[in-house]
Chains A and B, each alone.
Chain A
């Protein structure tokens, strides 16, 4: 209901979000966000289950790397306690940055529910942004306590985290959220060309697991893998904010990091424009 009320003033014309005025867009976001929140609350059981699943991988990584480091030992500059902190923060960043649309797009196209989204006088990405933000805000209610529990339960080391680190982290986190959203949204568009996308998604997540830093901190990876990671967009979506929070990057290093994040974000947006236009053209040509 809220959707219609907000979409009303902008109805004339084809999908072209450059023409939407900022106040109208702001109103649209408010409406879409509250609609998504109402939906998430109605399905709170399902949301809770997804949140539980995000805890599992960091938990396992903590157990594995603590075992490798052993009590009092170190692995490539990480002690057991620092591994705990690293993966606890990774969980938070992972929750706030990941999106699920690469699976949803296949469903949207197969069932034809993509068409109504294209008919609305606003770019569909805005709806996805709202849905994501809403889910993430609600999910924080579970993820933040889980993060605290991990740190306390496994004796994480948070002595290096101060106000400066937290502030620097927040900016890196915001840029990571934007970058990963845009990049994975473009990846999701592959569903316009491929009917079975599971292999592509599987490959993407495997690469992300290592190069993004979710399986192990970059410092622990073999030299060659780390070198590849640093010239890829992946660590800037996950490992970088975590390292900033832990105080492992400081000063100019952080600023350079922001710069790299912005650079990748710009490239990703460019890619988005390019691919989206072709995707819509293909969709209308195939008439799916």
Chain B
């Protein structure tokens, strides 16, 4: 029983590796985009630092988060934003365009997992700039807080970061899958981008109850940005960690189910 499954996983891994490595090999293609990404990344960074400066010009803590705690959060926000921009968002945009133009059919006639193919089809290396800025800002923030991080903290951070990325990926996939029904809603990802860009750069804990619930379970920004930041700022408890893992699993399973549900409709299997 394990044979075919292992074979499948190996095939999937090979496909992902090929896409990523080709993206990297073609870095040169994106040279001017890289310069642009650096400029844009720096502008965004300065904007966020200014926003923090304005806020902390009036107060010494925001809902229990110090200036350096928020710096860590800004870094994590950059990091996750970079990961989304590297593969997830460009692939999803291409998929929605493909559904509109009919080229999505080519994804379906290939002998591999359709969700996987749709999700990794475009790699945008310039987004790595945001990842790098994110790492830098996280280090800066952690350093500014003082006190050493234990290996356990770092492991928890990486675990929650992974879970957060999976959760966000599943959410964006489900959102994009709606293109099978609403072909004209090609800007549906704008809602996510706007929420992620605006609400995601503040700790979810400052939002009032109903909004916090919304940002945790409906649009899962809390587990993508706030929770990993909590791991680095000594706020993360066991329950939240387990919650992050569970939520990632639930979101992934639900998104995958929805994907195949949509495909059945697209291919007329359910009609």
Residues of chain A touching chain B, judged by Cβ–Cβ distance below 8 Å, are: 43, 45-46, 49-50, 52-53, 56-57, 59-60, 63-64, 67-68, 75-76, 196, 198-199, 202-203, 206, 209-210, 215-216, 220-222
- Contact partner of B182 among A45, A63, A64, CB < 8 A? A45
Taking the closest CB of chain A, its distance from the CB of B200, in whole angstroms, is 9
Q: Is B116 an interface residue (CB 8 A)?
A: no
Q: Can you report 25 residue pairs joining A to B where beta carbons are below 8 Å apart? A: A45-B184, A49-B187, A49-B188, A49-B191, A53-B194, A56-B198, A63-B206, A63-B207, A63-B208, A63-B211, A64-B62, A64-B202, A64-B206, A67-B62, A68-B58, A75-B58, A76-B58, A198-B36, A199-B36, A199-B40, A202-B44, A206-B46, A210-B50, A210-B54, A220-B54
Q: Is B57 an interface residue (CB 8 A)?
A: yes
A64 touches B57 (CB 8 A): no
State the CA gap A259–B54 with chains docked (Å): 29
State the CA gap A203–B50 with chains docked (Å): 13
Q: Is B47 an interface residue (CB 8 A)?
A: yes
B54 touches A46 (CB 8 A): no
State the CA gap A210–B191 with chains docked (Å): 23
Q: A interface, by DSSP: helix, strand, loop or mixed?
A: helix
A56-B195, A206-B47 given; A49·B55 CB < 8 A: no
Known: A45-B184, A46-B184, A49-B187. 13 other contacts (CB 8 A): A45-B185, A46-B186, A50-B190, A57-B194, A64-B202, A199-B39, A202-B39, A203-B43, A206-B44, A209-B47, A215-B51, A220-B54, A222-B57
Q: Please, which residues of chain B bring their CB within 8 A of the CB of A206?
A: 43-44, 46-47
Bits for B35-66, please: 1 = Cβ < 8 Å to A, else 0: 01001100110110011011101110011000
Residues of chain B touching chain A, judged by Cβ–Cβ distance below 8 Å, are: 32-33, 36, 39-40, 43-44, 46-47, 50-51, 53-55, 57-59, 62-63, 182, 184-188, 190-191, 194-195, 198-199, 202, 206-208, 211
Q: Please, which residues of chain A bring their CB within 8 A of the CB of B39?
A: 199, 202
- Contact partner of B58 among A50, A203, A215, A220, CB < 8 A? A220
A222 touches B185 (CB 8 A): no
Q: How many A-B residue pairs have CB under 8 A?
A: 82
A68-B62, A198-B40, A199-B36 given; A60·B54 CB < 8 A: no
Q: Please, which residues of chain B bring their CB within 8 A of the CB of A46?
A: 184-187
Q: Please, which residues of chain A bring their CB within 8 A of the CB of B57?
A: 222
- Contact partner of A68 among B36, B43, B53, B59, CB < 8 A? B59
State the CA gap A198–B202 with chains docked (Å): 24
- Contact partner of B191 among A53, A60, A220, CB < 8 A? A53
- Contact partner of B54 among A49, A53, A67, A216, CB < 8 A? A216
Taking the closest CB of chain A, its distance from the CB of B106, in whole angstroms, is 24
Q: Please, which residues of chain A bring their CB within 8 A of the CB of B184?
A: 43, 45-46
Q: Please, which residues of chain B bring their CB within 8 A of the CB of A52?
A: 191
The 8 A-B pairs with the shortest beta carbon distances in the complex, nearest first, are: A53-B194, A206-B47, A199-B39, A67-B206, A60-B198, A56-B194, A68-B59, A56-B198
Q: Please, which residues of chain B bring their CB within 8 A of the CB of A196?
A: 32-33, 36
Taking the closest CB of chain B, its distance from the CB of A280, in whole angstroms, is 27
Closest residue of B by beta carbon distance from A70: B59
Q: Please, which residues of chain A bring their CB within 8 A of the CB of B199?
A: 56, 59-60
State the CA gap A215–B55 with chains docked (Å): 10
State the CA gap A52–B188 with chains docked (Å): 10
State the CA gap A196–B44 with chains docked (Å): 17
Q: Please, which residues of chain A bring their CB within 8 A of the CB of B190?
A: 49-50, 53
Q: Please, which residues of chain B bring their CB within 8 A of the CB of A215?
A: 51, 54
Q: Please, which residues of chain A bring their CB within 8 A of the CB of B211?
A: 59, 63
Closest residue of B by beta carbon distance from A61: B198
